[in-house]
Copies of this chain bind each other. A is one copy, B any other.
Amino acid sequence: MSEDREVTIYDIARYLNVSAATVSRGLKNNPMISKNTRKKITEAAKTLGYQSNTFASSLRSRHTHTLGVLVPRLNSHFMSSVLAGMENAANRHGYNLIIAQSLEDVEKEKRNAATMFNKRVDGLLISLSYNTTDIHHLEPFFKRKIPVVFFDRIYPHEESTSVGINNYEAAYNITRHLAEQGCKRIMHLGGNLLRNVYQERLNGYRQALRDHHLPVSKKLYLTSTLSEQAGTEAARYILDLPPGERPDAVFSANDTAAVYCMLALKAAGLRIPDDIAFAGFNNDPISRVIEPNLTTMDYSGDSIGNTAATYLINHLKGISNLYTTDAITLRAEMVIRASSLKKKLRE
């Protein structure tokens, strides 16, 4: 009952007068063992209260059924959805997640990558920190052929796959939407260009402006961390602009900055969308609470997480091959809400 020793396969073996090898095989339902013996083993395991020791197993079999997940921050709506999706997929396939956050710091990212490696995760799911410039720290994984899947904030690498959305197209479409609403001076709140997602959104935004013969001005482009504070500061920036140079629309690379910018502008008396239209990115819960509701890009963190994890697991199981796939692009959908619908087009 409450012994202090662990119950091992040897105990089961002794109990049933078979060898530990047989028990080991029996527990894994190896067809090499007769159905009868297998049943006896499973029963004995239950009555003895056997609990398999995962690392004894891992040590020998050289896989851990564990995936490493390395993210910039855990506490954003998007990221927690991603994690939820990953956990779901992993759990469904009998994998576990060991999760760490870099807090946007390369050094911590490196340390975390090292621990993950030492823990011998079967695969790595990673979204890069703000200021990661190279991925030398992932070399150990590549060397040992431990599959790496990038998601959201990706880094092109020939031995790994990335999962995300078409940020260029999404940004292009959302900017075009603003243009079609009659906006002439469309501003962009962007993030760190080291990260593909922000670079691509900027590119899409710019191209859409050019295609609609709208000004691509440095005054209409701000780069920041896209935090609440950054949103508020962007509002300040806009209000300080000479009236003639003020944007009549803002496309923010995330919802947080958009919403806090809106709040500040509203407080200053600007009307949204009539004085200034708004569009965000992420479809964060706050985008459905702010008034007017925020037009945004909806792409499910859940499916990104799910897809990335499932894909990684399929590779591990040999069902698919990660090395032949460069990128998986998920659908992103524009959700048009009141914040970008100019009156003249409404009626």
Contacts and interface: CB of A to CB of B under 8 A. Distances in A.
B98 A97 contact: yes
Interface residues of chain A: helix, strand, loop or mixed (majority): helix
Given A97-B99, A99-B97, A119 B75 contact: no
Contacts of A97: 98-100
Nearest to A294: B289
Interface string A53-79: 111101100001010000001111101
A77 B77 contact: yes
Interface centre among A75, A108, A112, A117 (most CB of B within 10 A): A75
Contact of A58 (B55, B108, B115, B301): B55
A84 B75 contact: yes
Nearest to A94: B115
A81 B75 contact: yes
A64 B73 CA distance: 24
A263 interface: yes
A76 to B, nearest CB: 7
A54 B66 CA distance: 13
B77 A84 contact: no
A54 B119 contact: yes
Interface of A: 2, 51-56, 58-59, 64, 66, 73-77, 79-81, 83-84, 87-88, 91, 96-101, 103, 108, 112, 114-115, 117-120, 140, 143, 256, 259, 263, 285-286, 289-291, 301-302
Nearest 6 CB-CB pairings of A with B: A55-B55, A80-B80, A75-B80, A75-B84, A74-B84, A286-B289
